Each structure stands twice: as structure tokens, then as C-alpha cells.
Chains A and B, each alone.
Chain A
Amino acid sequence: MNATHFHFHDPYQPLDSPVHRLDPRVKLILALGFILTATLLPVGAWLSYALLGAAAWMTAHLSGLGIRNVLRRSVLALPFVLAALPVVFTAPGPSWLTLSLGPWQIPVRVEGVIRFLSVLLKSWLSLQIAVILVGTTAFPDLLAAMRAMGVPRFLVMTFGLMWRYLFLLVDEAIRMLRAREARSIAPEVPGHRVGGTLAWRAQVTGRMVGTLFLRTLERGERIYMAMVARGYDGEVRMLPMPPLSGPDRALLAGGLLFLIGILLLGWVSRALFL
């Protein structure tokens, strides 16, 4: 619901690195495991967060994407953190300090700050690993990995079609936006209302959406024809995937053990401290 869909390019960076070469199934499972671990860690498990961060940064470095690049991209989605800010003031427990805002005295709660920082770190760590995953894995490989993980074939095919036509349709949408800009007069006179009422602008946009939809449906029909011409019969068939190699299995097991270790560490240390 934010208007930030404009970072539109394939995030995959075609480099050659150990992370790139890793089997996509291993990468997808480990990335999901990483994010799940971050989610399941208790509030204030700083040591575990740090270990996860170290793992993420090491992977970023190994992947050739560069830590700085990954950090930059992972910050893009952070504005949502504002939604967590109120917890700083509303959490239960003693206050740490009190902000004076005019007539109001707003207490900053210890527990609130801990919770806020925890959410911030968990979210940030998850983002970094997601950025590394899509930066080092081409989407077709991700599709194969999803299939191996049991995502229904129909869904995999749909994701594939979607991704294939996404950029094409986005280009089309951008061309329509340009055409609209070229036709709309936008005088830079202060106080002059530009482009009619909100309802009118929404209507123009609605028509553009409609037009885009028509083109989309027509393209869908032609694609269906092209599929049928080559034997498509409504069932989704794909070539089988090769089994995981020994080193890949070892890495997968090691990675999962590491994550479980971090999770245990987080909960055990919490139990000890309290």
C-alpha cells in the first residue's frame, strides 16, 4: 500500500561466487530457516542477533554482492519500522527517561526500547538475507527450488509465467504513464489546479488499468495458444531435478544446525538471565 514499487529491476546479480554456485534448494531452505530463526528468537537476544548478523555479512562478503550493497538495499524496506515506534512509549514497565513535548511528559520505557530494537534488528537481518538470496539466485533457479520444496507445480508454473511477463507488462505500464504525461498539461502556476479532480484522475487511471488488463488478457490468450501448439494439455509437466550433491547436503545440514544453535542460545541465555 506504499507507493514504492519503483525499484523495478531484476535484483539478480550474475556474478561467479561460492554463494552463486550453491544449489538453489540449499539457498532457499537456509534463507527461510534464517528468517524463521530470527522470527522465533526472543526479544533482547542480542548475542544471537549478532551471530545471525555475522553469518549474513559473511555470506554477503562471500557472494561478491558486497556488504555495503546488501545493507543499502536492505534499508529500502525499513520505513515500516515507524509502525513499531509507539512500543517505545507504551510498553509496560519502568521508564528509562521522560521526553518533554510541550505540555506532555512522554515516558520512554526500558522494555519498549528493548522490544523496538529487537524488532528492528530481526526485520533488518531478515531483509539482508532475502536480499542476498535473490541477488545470488536467478529466478528460474528459485522456481526449481520451490518445486523441490513442495510448492504445487501449478503455482510454480504461474510464478514462472508471472515473472516472465512482469517486466514486459511493467514496461507497458511505464509507456502508458509516459503517454499520459505527454498529453497532460501541467502549468507551473501556483494555485492552478492540475489535471482535474481526484475522481477524474482516478477515472483516467482506472481506464489505464482497464486497458492494461485487456492487453494482458489478450496476451494470455495468445500464450495459451502457443502452449497448446506445443502440446500443453492443462497438466503441468517439468523435468525432474537432480539429487543434491554430498557437499550441498553437508552444507545444508551444517547451516540448519547453526541456526538451531543460535535459536537455542537465544532462549537459553534468556532463561538464565531472568
Chain B
Amino acid sequence: MHIPDGFLSPSVALPLWGVSAGIGGYALRRVSRELTERETPVIGVVAAGIFAAQMLNFPIAGGTSGHLIGTALATLLFGPWVAILIMTCVLSLQALIFQDGGLIALGANIFNMGILGALVAYAIDQTLRGIWGDRRWARTAAAFLAGWAAVVMGALATGLELALSGLVPANVVLPAMGGIHALIGVVEGLITVSAVTFLRTVRGELMVERPVAGRVPLWVAGLALTLLLTLLAPLASSDPDGLERVAEDLGFIQAARPPAFELLPDYTIPGLSNRSLAVILAGILGALMAFGLVIVLLLGWRSRQRERVSNSKT
């Protein structure tokens, strides 16, 4: 999901740089005002910790392995602004030193994985705990879904950006990214839940319980973004030409249709309707399966966890 340089068209990458720099700068001011001087140096170390935690991979199946991204975890632990700052640092260093993601694409990557992830995780955690009350299982479910949604929404945003850049049709990239990350998100959600639960058990005082709906504007923003992406993604998938047209009108796609080719009649791909339909169906099926898996795993995990807490002291 770390987009390299060269993939996004300038009219997508540069405005997102601006957006991320603006929000990052605001987060910076917010954080340096809200945190005590005691906590400020800790941010750098925690960012390194997230970076290192991403190394803790574990086998899923067939040679693939999963690992944490950490945006949701950071949000649940430190609140959205600190999380945005931490993820900005993590993603910047990954881009600069390890070429994980590009430098001009950094704005987009920070937006997708840092800003969007933190806002979505925050909104979901707040909403669910608001609905269900601050009970143990509610916190667990909220943490899981926060982790899951942060990943899926980030992936959808990535897909949209690639589609807006005229690289991949939305009806291909959105179901693909959404479907794959619906599964990857399960891993993120599970790790987030166990890490948060562990930290709450071992060092309860560390977990500053975020009061429900503590920051209403943020919560609204996160929820709005979540809803927007959930609605926009299927919309764009079912009408990729619409998205492309919008992108062209806004000048997102450079050279999408050079004059020489414009003389030709509008294109048709044989079997397009069937193919895109199949992809959409696969995407929907994947998402449904992922949701089912989530529920099954969550139930199994909760009953298992009760046994394990009694006979293991980590």
C-alpha cells in the first residue's frame, strides 16, 4: 500500500501533499500544546517502536505472513492527533531511508495510512463504544473494527487515487484492493485487539481511556470519511467511466486521451460488462466472506481468550 513515486499523476499527488502537510502541521501544533514536555520526546521513540513492531510478522497461510501497520493501535493508545504525527514520522522515514513508498507520493501515503487511518479508527472506536457502552467486549470489538477499517479504508483511498491517476480502472482496482485488504485488515484488527488488551492488563495506567465522543469534530470527520469511502468505492466501481470522466474534467489524468486518439469512436472492450460485473461480484463476495470470518474469529477468540488468561501470565 506504500505507493512509489511515478504512479500518481501530479494533480493527485501534489494536492495530497498539501493536505497532509497541512493536517500534519496542525497535528504538530495540537500535540505540542496538549502534551506535556515529558511526553514529547517519547513520540520519536514510539514511532521507532511502531516501525519495529511492523517487523513482528507471523505466518498466515501458504508462505504469506501478516504484520501490523499500527495506525489504529497508535490512535487507541494516544488519540488521533498523536497517532497522525507518529504515522507521519514512520511513513516519512520508510520513504526516505528504505524507499518504502515514494517521496512525492509521501503525501498520499501519509493521507491514506496515517490521517485517514487515524480518523477512521478514532471514529469507529468512538461510535461503537458510544452505542454499546464502555464494556469489555465493546472495547474489544471496537478495537478490532478500528484496526480492520483503518486498513480497508486506506486501501480504498489508495485505489481511488490510482484510478484518479488514470492507471487502473476503478472497477478493477477498488474491488481488488478492498477485497485483499478486507483480509489483511483482519490481521491488523486481531493484533490491535490483543496488543490493546495486553497493555490494559499489564499496565492499565498507561491506557488513558479516551472518553467517548471527546472530540466531536474529529469524530464527525472520521465518520464522514468512512461513509464517503464506503459509498464512493462501490459507486466508482460500478461506473468507472464516470470516475474517469470526472478525473479528466478535473484534469487529473494527463494525456488520458491525446487528440490523435480522440478522433476514434469511444472505446469498447469486448466482454467488459461481464468482466467488470464478475470483478464487482468477487469483491462483494470477498467482503462478505471477510465479515463472516471476522465474526467467527472474534467469537472463537473471545472464548479462547478467557481460558488463556487464566493459565498464562505473559
- Residues on A lying within 8 angstroms of B by beta carbon are 1-8, 10-11, 31-32, 35-36, 38-40, 42-44, 73-74, 76-78, 80, 83-84, 86-87, 89-90, 92-94, 104-105, 107, 111, 115, 119-127, 130-131, 134, 139, 142, 152, 154-155, 157-166, 168-170, 172-174, 176-177, 194-195, 197-217, 219-221, 223-224, 227, 232-234, 270, 274
B162 within 8 A of A: yes
What's the dominant secondary structure at chain B's contact region?
Answer: helix
Q: Are A80 and B3 in contact (CB under 8 A)?
A: yes
Q: Are A224 and B195 in contact (CB under 8 A)?
A: no
Q: Are A1 and B2 in contact (CB under 8 A)?
A: yes
Query: Quick one: which of A111, A130, A177 contacts B55, CB cutoff 8 A?
Result: A177
- Interface contacts beyond A159-B93, A232-B41: sample of 5 additional A-B pairs, CB < 8 Å, sorted by A: A157-B44, A173-B52, A173-B53, A176-B56, A224-B41
B97 within 8 A of A: yes
Q: How many Å from the CB of B298 to the closest CB on chain A?
A: 8
Q: Are B102 and A35 in contact (CB under 8 A)?
A: yes
Query: Quick one: which of A1, A131, A199 contacts B301, CB cutoff 8 A?
Result: A199
Query: Quick one: which of A43, A89, A234 contacts B255, CB cutoff 8 A?
Result: A43
Q: Are A216 and B102 in contact (CB under 8 A)?
A: no
Q: Are A1 and B69 in contact (CB under 8 A)?
A: yes
Q: Are B6 and A122 in contact (CB under 8 A)?
A: yes
A-B residue pair count with CB separations less than 8 angstroms: 316
For the complex, what is the distance from the CA of A160 to the CA of B93, rounded to whole Å? 10
Q: How many Å from the CB of A234 to the closest CB on chain B?
A: 3
In this complex, which of B51, B184, B186, B206 has the most chain A Cβ atoms within 10 angstroms of its Cβ? Answer: B51
- Which residues of B have CB within 8 Å of A212? 49, 52-53, 56
Q: Are B194 and A202 in contact (CB under 8 A)?
A: yes
B182 within 8 A of A: no
- Which residues of A have CB within 8 Å of B251? none
A219 with B104: in contact, given A105-B270, A107-B269, A162-B93 (CB under 8 Å)? Answer: no
In this complex, which of B195, B196, B197, B264 has the most chain A Cβ atoms within 10 angstroms of its Cβ? Answer: B195
